[in-house]
Amino acid sequence: MKTTSYLFFIGLIASFPVSFAVNIYLLDNGYETCGKISWMSPTTYVKDLSLCDR
Radius of gyration of the chain (CA): 16
Looking at residue 36, its pLDDT comes to 87
**Phi/psi-derived region of residue 11, left when phi > 0, alpha when psi is between -120 and 50, beta in every other case:** alpha
The pLDDT score that the predictor gives to residue 37 is 86
Residues in the chain: 54
Separation of alpha carbons 41 and 47, rounded Å? 19
- This prediction has a pTM of 0.72
pLDDT in tens, 1-54: 999 999 999 999 999 999 999 999 999 999 999 988 888 989 999 999 999 886
Q: What SS3 state is found at 33? A: strand
pLDDT, residue 44, reads: 92
Alpha carbons 53 and 25: distance in angstroms, whole number: 24
